[in-house]
Amino acid sequence: MKREATAILVMLAAAASVSVTAASRPSDASTQRRVRGVITAVDPATVTISPIQAHRQCVTGRIDPTRTRILVDGHPARPSDLHITYTVRAELSLDDVWMTIRVDSH
């Protein structure tokens, strides 16, 4: 009985350490979100995108002039070049700053 209890405790401790290790590893999903959709709101400091998947909520992020990379049809662009109804692929960091916004206006 004592051996079985010890074996169970050892297995539980091993499982707990694996869970903690897996949770502490960063992954792409934990560092940024990828969004594909249509721009529904634009102002100089933020952009809101409605994902193509209808069941997902709109995503709003800030534009940081030093961190946000904007491309329109593959060419570098400014926030003022973004327009409502443009189809975009974008990446949002954990601090809600857009890292990249790629527009295909064709």
User: 3-class SS at 24?
Assistant: helix
- Could you tell me if residue 35 is inside a domain? yes
% pLDDT > 70, the chain: 69
- Could you tell me if residue 6 is inside a domain? no
- Could you tell me if residue 23 is inside a domain? no
Look up the domain containing 81 and give its range: 31-104
Task: Quote the pTM value.
Answer: 0.68
**pLDDT average, residue stretch 29-35:** 69
* Nearest by Cα to 34 from 57, 64, 59: 59
Around Cβ 58, how many Cβ atoms within 10 Å?
A: 13
**pLDDT average, residue stretch 31-39:** 86
- The number of folded domains in the chain is 1
Q: What sign does the CA torsion over 78, 84, 87, 88 have?
A: positive
Quick: pLDDT tens for 51-65. Answer: 988 788 999 999 999
- Could you tell me if residue 41 is inside a domain? yes
- Could you tell me if residue 17 is inside a domain? no
**pLDDT average, residue stretch 68-76:** 96
Question: For residue 52, what is the domain's CATH number?
Answer: 2.40.50.140
